[in-house]
């Protein structure tokens, strides 16, 4: 057995049965092994950023890692931005990167570049298999490393001779690491804080944003008066009617500071001490008040879900009554952020997966969809735009039977627009709503924030018009049906129709 076949068989033995790929010549023997060994679902994307983002979405929804297969260094480079998002979201991915043969790389062929250097910035684990006998063992390590709490990208670099040479050996799965339980002292500290009577916010992240953790968090909040909030960008949050209403720290710096200003204490459950996305002159970098005390109930790699259960018990917190929230109703007329958010919330299908890369036009969206049918919401965890279309693609594969709704800023959509073709090829149940404001609106806001008026350069660089992108034609070019909406009524009709169909559909919502 050659190294490539030992890799495929080891991945399958370790429960990795889906690979998103954009291979090249150096990955040829891996592909040939996929031809010979049954059992691996193989999904092509025509750009590596789609591969990485799709693997991210798949893992968020399926709860297990996919593999990715990318071409040597420049191919990997094209995937880095979405691997960055996965890294920040603690999402497990087993990234296989082909490379020049070990004996050929010293000749510095044209395509050779710094594969390890590129991978290191996004990976929790990087290793090169120099010999076929190592491939299986390292692949099992990669799966273990990707899934070790808090989860991350494990990169296995596979020189082509390690792939094609005989001497491969299949490895079985290594023990997985459960998240470590938090110390009793952390529970006790949280109890003391919550009983202090001082204003306290509990900041939740990762698994603490899903059931059963959110129910325990709601019990704790109801029993103590503490408030619940999540980070600005969350990996996967259970959200909607009948679920505890946990907001997000707003993206705009002044809004974030205002939301966190009342608190004397913050209890972190898998979350980070919140910091501004960027530095702004005259604003602090940390978003909590300087005199607020930060209490770590659970670090990201610890068992925050268990910690919340123990904390609720320690507080003898009774089950929390869910406030009855009126379900959202559609809004007609002009296309505004608020009208869109309410209408989307009103018409969201049951058990949907919402991928939120709406950015500026979506600022009211999360609050509005608290009144929508229950759903999971996936967000841009690393802030590297261009994640929505790929993430939706992978989420649909990781959550079959559920409709994926990608609420998608147009500027961001352009980075990885090739994902639409993979949606068409795989006939994925994705509704993409492109919010076509035809500008990098967030940058106009930032420009105003620094006190500058827009001039010729900023108008050229922040505007996406002259000419406008025609999203219906772009979708058709990639094999996805689409239509344009210019009013909320048109949007509502198209959105309902799209969500009832099988396969992908794109709605271009024209923002005046």
Residues 226-245 that bind its own copies (CB under 8 A): 232-233
Q: Is the peptide bond before 318 cis (omega within 30 degrees of 0)?
A: no
Q: Does 510 bind its own copies (CB under 8 A)?
A: no
| In contact, 100 and 160? CB cutoff 8 Å | yes
Name which of residues 8 to 27 contact its own copies (CB under 8 A).
Answer: 21, 23-26
Q: Which is nearer to its own copies, 315 or 377 (CB)?
A: 377
**C-alpha angle 306-309-311 in degrees, rounded to nearest 5:** 105
Cα separation, 406 vs 401, whole angstroms: 16
Q: For 153, how many CA atoms within 13 A lie in the half-sphere containing its CB?
A: 30
Q: Which stretch binds its own copies (CB under 8 A): 172-180, 259-267, 464-472, 486-494?
A: 464-472
Name which of residues 296 to 335 contact its own copies (CB under 8 A).
Answer: none
Kindly state the smallest distance separating residue 380's Cβ from its own copies, in Å: 9
- DSSP of 257-289: HHHHTT-SEEEEEB----B-SS--TTS-SB-S-
Q: Does 278 bind its own copies (CB under 8 A)?
A: yes
Selected from 13, 44, 174, 199, the binder of its own copies by CB under 8 A is: 44
Of the candidates 21, 14, 47, 54, the residue with the CA atom closest to the CA atom of residue 397: 54
Alpha helices in 148-180 (DSSP H): 160-164
Q: Which is nearer to its own copies, 289 or 383 (CB)?
A: 383
Q: Which stretch binds its own copies (CB under 8 A): 216-224, 236-244, 301-309, 463-471?
A: 463-471
Size of the site for its own copies (CB under 8 A): 102
Q: Which is nearer to its own copies, 27 or 306 (CB)?
A: 27
Alpha helices in 63-165 (DSSP H): 73-88, 115-120, 132-147, 160-164
Q: Does 506 bind its own copies (CB under 8 A)?
A: no
Q: Which stretch binds its own copies (CB under 8 A): 141-149, 352-360, 361-369, 459-467?
A: 459-467
Q: Does 282 bind its own copies (CB under 8 A)?
A: no
Sequence-separated (6 or more) residues with CB below 8 Å from residue 398: 57, 58, 59, 60, 61, 62, 66
Both tokens of 211, joined, read: 């059931």
Give the residue carrying structure tokens 């970098």: 285
Sequence-separated (6 or more) residues with CB below 8 Å from residue 332: 339, 487, 488, 489, 492
Selected from 62, 336, 351, 458, the binder of its own copies by CB under 8 A is: 458
Q: Which is nearer to its own copies, 12 or 28 (CB)?
A: 28
Kindly state the smallest distance separating residue 106's Cβ from its own copies, in Å: 9
Kindly state the smallest distance separating residue 334's Cβ from its own copies, in Å: 26
Beta bridge partners of 485: 509
Kindly state the smallest distance separating residue 18's Cβ from its own copies, in Å: 12
Kindly state the smallest distance separating residue 178's Cβ from its own copies, in Å: 26
CB atoms within 10 A of CB 427: 11
Give the single-character DSSP code of 174: P
Name which of residues 93 to 122 contact its own copies (CB under 8 A).
Answer: 100-101, 103-104, 107-111, 113-114, 117-118, 120-122
Of the candidates 308, 314, 291, the residue with the CA atom closest to the CA atom of residue 228: 308
Q: Which is nearer to its own copies, 103 or 321 (CB)?
A: 103
Sequence-separated (6 or more) residues with CB below 8 Å from residue 41: 17, 18, 19, 397
Selected from 64, 131, 264, 286, the binder of its own copies by CB under 8 A is: 286
Q: Does 290 bind its own copies (CB under 8 A)?
A: no
- C-alpha pair distances (Å), 231 with each of 268, 269, 273, 467, 483: 10, 10, 9, 37, 34
Q: Return the C-alpha torsion angle 242, 243, 249, 254, nearest 10.
A: 20
Site string for its own copies, 118-147 (x = CB under 8 A): x-xxx-------------------------
Name which of residues 376 to 435 contact its own copies (CB under 8 A).
Answer: 381-384, 386, 411, 414-415, 417-418, 421, 424-425
Q: Does 470 bind its own copies (CB under 8 A)?
A: yes
Q: Which is nearer to its own copies, 147 or 423 (CB)?
A: 423
How many residues does the structure list for the chain?
512
Selected from 478, 491, 495, 505, the binder of its own copies by CB under 8 A is: 478
Kindly state the smallest distance separating residue 323's Cβ from its own copies, in Å: 31
Q: Does 42 bind its own copies (CB under 8 A)?
A: yes
CB atoms within 10 A of CB 71: 22
Name which of residues 164 to 223 contact its own copies (CB under 8 A).
Answer: 164
Give the residue carrying structure tokens 């709605």: 507
Name which of residues 49 to 68 contact its own copies (CB under 8 A).
Answer: 49
Q: Which is nearer to its own copies, 342 or 381 (CB)?
A: 381
Q: Does 366 bind its own copies (CB under 8 A)?
A: no
Cα separation, 438 vs 90, whole angstroms: 32
Name which of residues 66 to 85 contact its own copies (CB under 8 A).
Answer: 73-75, 77-78, 80-81, 84-85
């Amino acid at each position: 057995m050659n190294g490539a076949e030992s890799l495929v068989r080891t991945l399958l033995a370790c429960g990795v049965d889906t690979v998103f790929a954009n291979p090249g010549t150096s990955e040829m023997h891996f592909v040939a092994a996929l031809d010979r060994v049954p059992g691996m679902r193989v999904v092509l994307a025509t750009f590596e950023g789609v591969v990485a983002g799709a693997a991210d979405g798949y893992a968020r929804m399926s709860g297990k890692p996919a593999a990715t297969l990318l071409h040597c260094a420049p191919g990997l480079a094209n995937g880095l931005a979405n691997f960055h998002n996965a890294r920040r979201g603690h999402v497990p991915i087993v990234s296989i990167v082909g490379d020049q043969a070990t004996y050929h790389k010293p000749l510095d062929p044209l395509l050779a570049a710094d594969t390890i250097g590129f991978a290191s910035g996004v990976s929790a684990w990087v290793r090169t298999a120099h010999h076929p006998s190592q491939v299986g063992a390292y692949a099992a390590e990669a799966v273990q490393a990707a899934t070790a709490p808090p989860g991350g990208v494990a990169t296995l670099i596979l020189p082509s001779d390690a792939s094609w040479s005989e001497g491969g050996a299949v490895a079985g799965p290594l023990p997985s690491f459960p998240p470590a339980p938090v110390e009793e002292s952390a529970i006790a500290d949280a109890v003391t804080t919550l009983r202090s009577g001082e204003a306290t916010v509990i900041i939740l992240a990762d698994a603490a944003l899903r059931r059963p953790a959110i129910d325990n968090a709601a019990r704790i909040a109801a029993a103590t008066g503490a408030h619940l909030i999540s980070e600005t960008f969350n990996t996967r949050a259970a959200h909607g009617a009948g679920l505890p209403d946990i907001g997000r720290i707003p993206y705009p710096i002044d809004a974030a500071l205002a939301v966190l200003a009342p608190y004397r204490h913050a209890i972190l459950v898998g979350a980070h001490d919140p910091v501004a996305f960027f530095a702004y002159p005259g604003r602090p970098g940390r978003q909590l008040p300087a005199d607020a005390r930060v209490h770590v109930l659970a670090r990201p790699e610890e068992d925050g879900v268990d910690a919340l259960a123990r904390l609720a018990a320690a507080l003898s917190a009774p089950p929390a009554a869910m406030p009855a929230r009126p379900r959202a109703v559609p809004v007609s007329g002009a296309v505004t952020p608020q009208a869109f958010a309410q209408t989307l919330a009103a018409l969201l299908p049951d058990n949907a997966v919402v991928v939120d890369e709406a950015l500026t036009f979506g600022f009211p969206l999360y609050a509005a969809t608290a009144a929508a049918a229950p759903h999971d919401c996936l967000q841009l965890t690393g802030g590297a735009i261009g994640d929505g279309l790929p993430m939706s693609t992978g989420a649909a594969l990781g959550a079959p039977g559920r409709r994926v709704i990608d609420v998608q800023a147009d500027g961001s959509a352009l980075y990885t627009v090739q994902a639409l073709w993979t949606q068409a090829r795989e006939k994925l149940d994705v509704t993409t709503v492109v919010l076509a404001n035809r500008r990098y609106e967030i940058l106009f806001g930032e420009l105003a924030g620094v006190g500058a008026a827009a001039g010729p350069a900023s108008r050229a660089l922040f505007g996406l018009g002259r000419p406008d992108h025609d999203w219906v034609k772009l979708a058709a070019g990639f094999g996805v049906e689409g239509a344009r909406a210019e009013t909320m009524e048109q949007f509502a009709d198209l959105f309902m129709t799209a969500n009832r169909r099988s396969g992908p559909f794109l709605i271009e919502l024209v923002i005046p």
